[in-house]
Amino acid sequence: MLTKQKRTRLRNRIWPYVVARKEFWNVPNAIHKCRKIANSDKEALHILICDHIGDFIYTMGYVQSLRVQTGYKRIILYVTEKFAKLLELYPDITGEVTILTPQKIYGLLLISSTWHGIHEYEKIDNLIVINPANAFSNGNFDYIVRYPNIIFQDCIRYGCLRLGKNSTFIPANFA
């Protein structure tokens, strides 16, 4: 049985390898896969949504404003299976849906988890990654500083989707 002190030493020895694997294998792999997704249909806007209910609801509420601002006619959503049924609550939003496993979603979300990944992600024009937590982990607080008293909904509106203050949020239709 390992004592707490031995577990800590072991974790401290392994941790640099975990970080290196993420930086040198997982992130470049995510960059390659995201480029492949974006290049599969350059006429469409690809939206990759994190596997959290709040991220999904707020993103779907702003999809129409995003369509108007970007000018894309077609939108392709990448979601997990549990959110596919919730798409019925948004009848006004037309677009294609690709269902991915949570492991694939999180593998692709790594593109916005390091500075190198963010640099490469910003070069892809027709891909939007919705994962507001990565902004906090990288110290990228630009939109938070610009908009005081920001709430979670605004993190998605200003930070992930890069929409303006006049963008409208359309809630789910439960009727």
Strands laid side by side in the 74-79 sheet? 96-99, 74-79, 44-49, 127-130
Q: What is the pTM of this model?
A: 0.81
3-state DSSP call for residue 175?
coil
User: Which has the closest alpha carbon to 51: 109, 93, 125, 110?
Assistant: 109
Residue 135 contacts residue 166 (beta carbons within 8 Å): no
Q: Give tens-digit pLDDT for 88-108.
A: 888 877 778 999 999 999 999
The CA dihedral of 107, 86, 160, 69, to the nearest 10 degrees, is 130
The answer to whether position 173 is within a domain reads no
3-state DSSP call for residue 15?
helix
The residue segments making up the domain with residue 13 are 4-160
The answer to whether position 53 is within a domain reads yes
The answer to whether position 172 is within a domain reads no
Distance CA 37, CA 68 (A): 22
Q: Which residues pair with 128 in a beta bridge?
A: 47
pLDDT of 138: 58
pLDDT of 148: 67
The mean pLDDT value of the chain amounts to 84
Q: Give tens-digit pLDDT for 135-167.
A: 666 555 665 666 667 777 878 887 788 888 888
The answer to whether position 168 is within a domain reads no
Distance CA 113, CA 106 (A): 10
For Cα atoms 31, 14, 22, give the angle at the middle one, nearest 5 degrees: 5
3-state DSSP call for residue 10?
helix
The answer to whether position 113 is within a domain reads yes
Number of domains in the chain: 1
